[in-house]
Structure 1
Amino acid sequence: MVNQEREVSELLAEWSSQKEQLKTIFHERNPENSRELMEHGIQLFVRFLFLSNSLHLSFDGRIFFSQLEIKPVNIEERLAFIKSRPSLYHSFRQLSELMVEQEKLFVKHRAMKKSSRPKA
């Protein structure tokens, strides 16, 4: 559990840095320079999705959304949109929102898990 929290913390710190770079790119209206960073951001989100669900990332890249207990609403459609148009500002906003939602869900799930443990 501690290892999972540390990994999530490192992942979110990496996303925060990446997000600032993407904000600058979109602010300067250079979406053509965003593709590589967005693709990396998408990978970070997918990794976060699996990490927060205590699952291992599959090598073939397939995601079985039905197996995920902790996931944002309409994840399949939203992620498909982002992947199909990574250079759009709207995709960046959507990815940012997914990261925020997943973090909230992860924290909520972790808190509920801790409060349900019997006290020694």
Structure 2
Amino acid sequence: MENRFDFEKPWENPTEVIPRLLMEWGQIKTDLEKFYRIRDQENTNLGMKKGINLFLKFLFWSNELPVGDKEPLPLDSLPYRPVNIDERIGFILKRPNLFHSYRQLSELFLEQEKQFVKKNIKEKASKPKG
């Protein structure tokens, strides 16, 4: 599955883009489980890089921000984020081939999905009815 989204600025349309991003993660996750099971280091490393890249998109887009490549924004400053995000991402980036890194990345996706739902509920509740 190619990492493509139809929007020029996907962070401006998170409710449209995030579901497809999560579907893509589901495929990567399935592949990673297989690669770890058969101890395929090369494909594991490639899959983890794709997964990390996708998670960072998810993290920033769900906060309605572009993924910056110039001056990195401290992840702990994002309003909607998993707890201890800086430390956890740091661990994953240093040791992407470890199974524990894969488990951590999977948990980050789950936690960020909850944060995204929480954000959407807050936004709907704050909109005036009428």
- TM-score between the two structures when normalised by the length of structure 1: 0.92
What is the aligned counterpart of 1:19 among 3, 15, 29?
Answer: 29
Q: Cα distance 1:22–1:54, how it changes in 2: closer, same or farther (>3 A)?
A: same
Tell me, what secondary structure is at the counterpart of 2:83?
A: coil
Are residue 82 (structure 1) and residue 96 (structure 2) matched?
no
* Aligned residue type for 1:42: I
Are residue 62 (structure 1) and residue 72 (structure 2) matched?
yes
CA RMSD of aligned residues (A): 1.7
Q: Cα distance 1:6–1:31, how it changes in 2: closer, same or farther (>3 A)?
A: same
Tell me, what secondary structure is at the counterpart of 2:119?
A: helix
**Structure 2 partner of 1:117:** 127
Q: Cα distance 1:85–1:61, how it changes in 2: closer, same or farther (>3 A)?
A: farther
**Structure 1 partner of 2:18:** 8
In 2: Cα distance, 1:2 partner to 1:119 partner: 23
Please report how far the alpha carbon of residue 2 of structure 1 lies from its aligned counterpart in structure 2 after TM superposition.
8.5
In 2: Cα distance, 1:77 partner to 1:109 partner: 23
In 2: Cα distance, 1:63 partner to 1:100 partner: 22
Conserved in 2, the CA contact under 8 Å of 1:31 and 1:89?
A: no
Bigger drift between 59-68 and 37-46 goes to: 59-68
Instruction: Judging by fraction of residues, say which structure has more helix.
Output: 1
Please report how far the alpha carbon of residue 14 of structure 1 lies from its aligned counterpart in structure 2 after TM superposition.
0.6
Conserved in 1, the CA contact under 8 Å of 2:60 and 2:66?
A: yes
Tell me, what secondary structure is at the counterpart of 1:34?
A: helix
In 1: Cα distance, 2:121 partner to 2:58 partner: 17
Are residue 42 (structure 1) and residue 52 (structure 2) matched?
yes
> Which runs of 5 or more residues in structure 2 are unaligned?
1-10
> Which runs of 5 or more residues in structure 1 are unaligned?
none
- TM-score between the two structures when normalised by the length of structure 2: 0.85
* Aligned residue type for 2:65: L
The alignment-based identity, stated in percent, is 43
